[in-house]
């Protein structure tokens, strides 16, 4: 199994809250490296440097318009971000679609995503699915969707594969953990 930044994954650590959703569980990354200096391209235009988001936890969610499970997860992320998380964490929903900006915008509108910060990775410089990350992208796509969780300190703590139910108390506990680390 190839793992982001060349680290290895472990299932749990005593002080990290357990978060399971459906068939998947939050998986820790070892070693926990710092977020890489990469630019995210906003759907509405402009860019943001990922490292500039330090200070709050970051949920870095990778999705695509062709992904059925993403259609389930994105509205949950929208609701949680709008009603609970907006002031306590950064959320970056990164489209891995290789199509144009208008296609992604239509998809977001169809799902009624109005407050969710949406970014584009049309060239594959942020996430990779090939075995060698030929473009040097730092985040591995083990499936779609997949969410990387980054602590307030900037450490990439782990990832949650699959469409997770982010509205559970276990998800909130994990977010609190990330905020404090």
Residue span of the structural domain in which 115 resides: 35-180
Task: Give the SS3 label for residue 2.
Answer: coil
CATH number of the domain bearing residue 122 = 3.40.30.10
- 14-18, 76-80, 149-153: lowest mean pLDDT where? 14-18
Q: Is 81 contained in some domain?
A: yes
User: Tokens at residue 78, please?
Assistant: 């929208």
The residue-averaged pLDDT of 77-97 equals 95
CA angle 149–152–156, rounded 5-degree value: 35
pLDDT in tens, 88-108: 999 999 999 988 899 999 999
Taking the CA atoms of residue 29, residue 163, residue 137 and residue 175 in that order, the dihedral angle to the nearest 10 degrees is: -50
Q: Is 20 contained in some domain?
A: no
pLDDT in tens, 22-41: 899 999 998 888 999 999 99
pLDDT at 14: 53
- Quickly tell me which residue has 């990775």 as its tokens: 121
């Amino acid at each position: 199994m190839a793992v982001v930044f060349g680290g290895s994954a472990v299932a749990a650590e005593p002080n990290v809250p357990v978060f399971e959703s459906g068939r998947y569980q939050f998986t820790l990354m070892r070693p926990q490296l710092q977020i890489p200096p990469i630019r995210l391209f906003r759907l509405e235009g402009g860019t943001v440097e990922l490292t500039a988001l330090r200070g709050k936890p970051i949920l870095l969610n990778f999705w695509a318009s062709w992904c059925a499970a993403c259609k389930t997860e994105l509205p949950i992320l929208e609701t949680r971000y709008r009603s609970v998380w907006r002031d306590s964490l950064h959320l970056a929903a990164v489209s891995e679609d290789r199509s144009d900006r208008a296609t992604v915008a239509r998809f977001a509108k169809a799902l009624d995503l109005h407050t969710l910060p949406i970014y584009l990775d049309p060239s594959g410089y942020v996430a990779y699915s090939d075995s060698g990350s030929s473009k040097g992208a730092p985040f591995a796509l083990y499936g779609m969707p997949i969410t990387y969780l980054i602590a307030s300190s900037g450490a990439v703590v782990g990832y949650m594969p699959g469409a997770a139910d982010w509205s559970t108390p276990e998800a909130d506990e994990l977010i609190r953990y990330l905020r404090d680390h």
